[in-house]
Structure 1
């Protein structure tokens, strides 16, 4: 079974973005260093789904990591290191089989490879990553992660450490991630690979078509502009990719942009 794991928000200084999001009522905590990649992070959890704020702390190691095809570091570099929502990860427990399946489906596969990160308290957390892509695809595929610990153990440990905790703004849930795309070819392939169904809709007033994938409890909402409107304007200014993240369960409605990323926070 595939589940939404986390959303990557690349920023210049994760510790500063942490403070900005805390001011908006989110529970955000320091993470640690990815020594192999030259990056470090801060984290905001919504149960086991989370937003990861990543910054660079070692330029040489980051450049080496960015040479890996289809990696999230390559994405950030190719996007001219523009801060904002960059990629998302899908959680799996069958990463070795997934690699074979995706290769058989005609995708290019990088990994799986094992990684780890040192927390601020000196403890280590470890996982495996799998990157996939296609040279002709106009949007980036998700990457896949398999944690070494089972979800039940991770949830308990993260809760005991205060990493998973109540948000000051309420009992928040990561509800949806919105994308702007040129077509639904890759979207349909993502759904097929993850064994998910697609809901298709058209909004003629906004001049958009939607393809919606439900991954666990998180909606992946892919928007294709078909004429003038908000989505068309966004595409012209920012290109294709992740437009915003939607969070629900708040005590008040908020919509703000922090370090290149749009956050929409709703009561329901």
Structure 2
């Protein structure tokens, strides 16, 4: 079974973005270093789904990592190191089988490969990563992660460490990620491969078509502009990609833009 795992927000200095999000009422903590990639992170959890703020720590190691196709680092480099929401990860428990399945479907596959990260307290967290892509893909495809520990153990450990905790802004959950895309071909292929529910919609007032993919508790909302409207304006100004992240369960409604990323926060339903 596939679950949404995390959303990547590349920033210049994760520790400063951490402070900005904390001022807005988010619970955000330091993560640690990815020594092999020359990056480091800070984290904000919403149960086991989370937002990862990533920055460059070692330029030489980062540039080497960015040479590998379809990786996060390659994406950041291709986007000219533009801050903002970049990619997302899907959690799996069958990563070896996934690699074979995606390859048989005609996708290029890198991995799975095992990695570790040292936390600030010196402890080690481990996982496997699988990257997929295609030279003709119109969107950057998700990547896949399999953690060394089971979900129940991770939840317990994250809670005990204070990483997973109540947000001052409310009982926040990651509700949806919105994308603007050229077409739905890649979206529908990945949804089918992940055995995910997909809903088709059309909004004539907004001049947009939608494909909504459900991964656990998180909805991936893909929008294709078919005429002038909000999605069209975003496409003209920013190109294609992730438009915003939507969180629910807050004490108040508000929208914030921090270091290239738009977060829409919705008040909890009574």
Asked whether the two chains share a fold, i.e. TM above 0.5, the reply is yes
The alpha-carbon deviation at position 230 of structure 1 amounts to 1.2
Match of 1:71 in 2: 71
1:1-268 matches, within 5 Å, as 1-268=1-268
Q: What is the SS of the residue equivalent to 1:232?
A: helix
C-alpha distance in structure 2 between counterparts of 1:177 and 1:250, whole Å = 17
C-alpha distance in structure 2 between counterparts of 1:152 and 1:253, whole Å = 31
C-alpha distance in structure 1 between counterparts of 2:198 and 2:98, whole Å = 20
The alpha-carbon deviation at position 106 of structure 1 amounts to 0.5
C-alpha distance in structure 2 between counterparts of 1:190 and 1:236, whole Å = 26
C-alpha distance in structure 2 between counterparts of 1:23 and 1:210, whole Å = 34
C-alpha distance in structure 1 between counterparts of 2:129 and 2:238, whole Å = 28
Aligned residue-pair number: 268
C-alpha distance in structure 2 between counterparts of 1:123 and 1:48, whole Å = 19
Aligned-CA RMSD value: 0.5
Moved over 2 A (4+): none
The alpha-carbon deviation at position 138 of structure 1 amounts to 1.1
The alpha-carbon deviation at position 252 of structure 1 amounts to 0.4
C-alpha distance in structure 1 between counterparts of 2:226 and 2:45, whole Å = 35
The alpha-carbon deviation at position 197 of structure 1 amounts to 1.8
The alpha-carbon deviation at position 113 of structure 1 amounts to 0.5
C-alpha distance in structure 1 between counterparts of 2:239 and 2:122, whole Å = 40
C-alpha distance in structure 2 between counterparts of 1:64 and 1:243, whole Å = 29
C-alpha distance in structure 2 between counterparts of 1:255 and 1:175, whole Å = 14
The alpha-carbon deviation at position 166 of structure 1 amounts to 0.2
C-alpha distance in structure 2 between counterparts of 1:30 and 1:198, whole Å = 35
* Structure 2: segments with no counterpart, 5+ residues: none
C-alpha distance in structure 1 between counterparts of 2:31 and 2:163, whole Å = 9
Q: What is the SS of the residue equivalent to 1:21?
A: helix
Compute the TM-score of the two structures, normalised by the length of structure 2. Answer: 0.99
C-alpha distance in structure 2 between counterparts of 1:244 and 1:194, whole Å = 23
Deviation larger for 233-242 or 96-105: 233-242
Compute the TM-score of the two structures, normalised by the length of structure 1. Answer: 0.99
* Structure 1: segments with no counterpart, 5+ residues: none
C-alpha distance in structure 1 between counterparts of 2:142 and 2:119, whole Å = 25
The alpha-carbon deviation at position 234 of structure 1 amounts to 0.7
C-alpha distance in structure 1 between counterparts of 2:113 and 2:235, whole Å = 34
Q: What is the SS of the residue equivalent to 2:63?
A: helix
